[in-house]
A and B are shown apart, each in its own frame.
Chain A
Amino acid sequence: MSRKFRKALRALHTTFPKPDPLREAKFLGSLPRQYPKKKIAIPFLHMSGKPLYYGIPAAVIAVVLITAGTEVYHNVSEQKLPVLTPTETVTVTEASGHETATEIPTATERTDTTEDTPTQPGIPETEALATMPAVQTDSVSTPGTDAVQTAPPPAETIPQATQSPQVDTPEPTVPTPNEPEPTAPGFSYEPPPAAAFRDERVTPYSSYTVPDEVLEYTPPPNDSLPPPSSSVPANALVVMGRIDTVWYTQSGGEAWMQLDITITQSYRSSYQTGDRISVYVEGGYMSLADYLTLHPERAEGFEYPDAALQQSAAAEFGNIPRTGTEQLFVLTTNIPSDVPYGAYTGALYAPSSYDAQNILQQIGN
């Protein structure tokens, strides 16, 4: 009976009339023409109709920024800032975890080398760096930032000691692919970390902790989801994932679990190893008090006081996935309406099971 009730409830909207299609089409068709308004950012437009003092913070910020910009401009134009000589080339290298054909030292190694490279005593580090021989590292340099040359400064602004290496600086050499690249001491560029892993985990709306006393049920089959099938739906994602967290929650009066997983292998999805997602699977534990409220027909025969009910749980699934284990997940986006958006529903299989092997075979792995 409760299944029929749930089904009828979900189809409740069919008992209400639908809008007149003509009126609807006419109205919706008029919307784009009627509301093409786009907000255009015009300075101080936000002050329209407001007192003048609303503009004071913006005006103060504008003055500060203009002053700072002017100061920088004057410093640069009067050569107060250290600049590089024309024959010097500073190479900006990119540290990346990708393997390359030649063993090019990583940025960390180069930094270490810098410490070993003697700098001339009494020269500030920025100036000493400016005297470095040019080194080309095309194989690892970032396009567009390979070499940066600046205009020559007046001689009096650079200490004599820093100019001498210009004479002795050897011609830039291009390393052959088999040669280890000369180290570029000092000036290295730390790029942002490699593309971060996708983290699409969600937070469950509610969760239960499992008390000591658990009353087990054999629930009726849930008709809200299709029965598990050994065939993989065409639009289903298939990934191997490690279970990081198990949340016990409920959806539509049934116990569900939210599994936060880290993908260890993607067979059919756009995810990559290391990405994190949340998967809802049927089963788990929920509060017995809540369970009996939503399943009053099952409350008969239970003579628990309220306090005991509040501290008890209904178990609906004997095989609770353990955290830290790897499982094969077949995922769909067919989530119940009261599950946080972004999560998947899915079925999980032990990687060594027949079902898992069968699924992998079906998708060509």
Chain B
Amino acid sequence: MTSMDIQEQYRKVFQYCCSRIASPETAEDLTQETFLRFLEHPEYQGNGKEMQYLYTIARNLCIDEYRKAPDEAKGEPLQADRQAEGWIDRLAVREILDHLPEEEREIIVLRYVAELSVREISHIFGVSWFAMNRRIRHILSQMRKDFEKEGSV
């Protein structure tokens, strides 16, 4: 766990879990469980694939949680600091995000909230970098169109 900032990743993993689990308490439980499982296995560390392993664990835990209580897995209601500049745009993007299909939403959260590289996301989903890059572009293109539609209303 030397090559990444645990505190920063804690926040990101938590927000990733929040995007998939409604209850913040459950999301935080899953976050801590993710780190515990990650740290229990030294072989996950020091090979440059820490992020891939970390988010794969978090993803699997979220899927397990979803199976246990599917009603809870709707994602955290959106929040925004209304004092911050551009909060309306952020809320608009977040609403668009919440209406994306499950997997597309997950990809965008991993890319822009967890700030994983396209390569790391492609490893988590088991597809090639090119395929993932193309997919992200396609999703962004759709989101941009929706964003412009909302802006013009």
User: Do A294 and B137 touch across chains, with their CB atoms under 8 A apart?
Assistant: yes
What mask results when residues 110 to 153 of chain B are scored 1 for a CB within 8 Å of chain A, else 0?
A: 00110101110000000001000100011011011101100100
Contacts A10-B112, A12-B97, A31-B35 given; does A18 touch B11 at CB 8 Å: yes
With a cutoff of 8 Å between Cβ atoms, the chain B residues found around residue A2 in the complex are: 144
- A31 and B6 CA atoms in complex are apart in Å by 10
A49 proximal to B (CB < 8 A): no
Residue of A nearest to B92 (CB): A8
User: Do A13 and B112 touch across chains, with their CB atoms under 8 A apart?
Assistant: yes
What mask results when residues 11 to 48 of chain A are scored 1 for a CB within 8 Å of chain B, else 0?
A: 11111111110011001100100010101000000000
Complex partner residue of A24 from B10, B86, B97, CB under 8 angstroms: B10
Complex partner residue of B89 from A5, A16, A296, CB under 8 angstroms: A5
A74 proximal to B (CB < 8 A): no
B18 proximal to A (CB < 8 A): yes
User: Do A15 and B24 touch across chains, with their CB atoms under 8 A apart?
Assistant: no
Contacts A16-B18, A16-B79, A338-B117 given; does A28 touch B144 at CB 8 Å: no
With a cutoff of 8 Å between Cβ atoms, the chain B residues found around residue A39 in the complex are: 42
Whole-angstrom distance from the CB of B6 to the nearest CB of chain A? Answer: 6
- A4 and B96 CA atoms in complex are apart in Å by 14
- Does more than half of chain B's interface fall in helix, strand or loop, or is it mixed? helix
- A194 and B10 CA atoms in complex are apart in Å by 44
With a cutoff of 8 Å between Cβ atoms, the chain A residues found around residue B79 in the complex are: 15-17
B31 proximal to A (CB < 8 A): yes
A100 proximal to B (CB < 8 A): no
With a cutoff of 8 Å between Cβ atoms, the chain B residues found around residue A338 in the complex are: 117-118
Residue of A nearest to B77 (CB): A17
What mask results when residues 180 to 192 of chain A are scored 1 for a CB within 8 Å of chain B, else 0?
A: 0000000000000
User: Do A8 and B28 touch across chains, with their CB atoms under 8 A apart?
Assistant: no
Residue of A nearest to B6 (CB): A28
B2 proximal to A (CB < 8 A): no
- A2 and B140 CA atoms in complex are apart in Å by 11
With a cutoff of 8 Å between Cβ atoms, the chain B residues found around residue A206 in the complex are: 133
Residue of B nearest to A39 (CB): B42
User: Do A9 and B80 touch across chains, with their CB atoms under 8 A apart?
Assistant: no
With a cutoff of 8 Å between Cβ atoms, the chain B residues found around residue A23 in the complex are: 28, 32
B103 proximal to A (CB < 8 A): no
User: Do B84 and A17 touch across chains, with their CB atoms under 8 A apart?
Assistant: no
- A296 and B99 CA atoms in complex are apart in Å by 21
On chain B, the number of residues with a Cβ less than 8 Å from chain A's Cβ atoms is 50
A290 proximal to B (CB < 8 A): yes
- A206 and B112 CA atoms in complex are apart in Å by 19
Residue of A nearest to B18 (CB): A16
With a cutoff of 8 Å between Cβ atoms, the chain B residues found around residue A302 in the complex are: none
Complex partner residue of B94 from A4, A15, A35, A337, CB under 8 angstroms: A15
Residue of B nearest to A19 (CB): B14
Complex partner residue of A1 from B84, B108, B147, CB under 8 angstroms: B147
Complex partner residue of A12 from B42, B84, B94, B129, CB under 8 angstroms: B94
A53 proximal to B (CB < 8 A): no
Complex partner residue of B18 from A14, A17, A24, CB under 8 angstroms: A17
User: Do B31 and A19 touch across chains, with their CB atoms under 8 A apart?
Assistant: yes
Residue of B nearest to A206 (CB): B133
With a cutoff of 8 Å between Cβ atoms, the chain A residues found around residue B80 in the complex are: 14-15
Complex partner residue of B117 from A5, A18, A27, A337, CB under 8 angstroms: A337
Contacts A19-B31, A31-B6, A35-B39 given; does A12 touch B113 at CB 8 Å: yes
With a cutoff of 8 Å between Cβ atoms, the chain A residues found around residue B117 in the complex are: 337-338
User: Do B141 and A293 touch across chains, with their CB atoms under 8 A apart?
Assistant: yes
Contacts A16-B113, A31-B35 given; does A296 touch B144 at CB 8 Å: yes
- A294 and B141 CA atoms in complex are apart in Å by 6
Interface residue ranges of B43-95 to A (CB < 8 Å): 76, 78-81, 84, 86, 89-94
A residues adjacent to B (C-beta < 8 A): 1-2, 4-5, 7-20, 23-24, 27-28, 31, 35, 37, 39, 205-206, 253, 290, 293-294, 296-297, 337-338
B residues adjacent to A (C-beta < 8 A): 6-7, 10-12, 14-15, 18-19, 24, 28, 31-32, 35, 39, 42, 76, 78-81, 84, 86, 89-94, 97, 108-109, 112-113, 115, 117-119, 129, 133, 137-138, 140-141, 143-145, 147-148, 151
A-B contacts besides A8-B90, A10-B112, A19-B28, 8 pairs, CB < 8 Å: A7-B86, A15-B90, A16-B79, A17-B18, A23-B32, A24-B7, A37-B42, A294-B141
Q: List 23 A-B contacts (CB under 8 A).
A: A4-B86, A7-B86, A9-B143, A14-B80, A14-B81, A14-B84, A15-B94, A16-B15, A16-B113, A17-B79, A18-B15, A19-B10, A19-B28, A19-B31, A35-B39, A205-B119, A294-B137, A294-B141, A294-B144, A296-B141, A296-B144, A297-B148, A337-B115
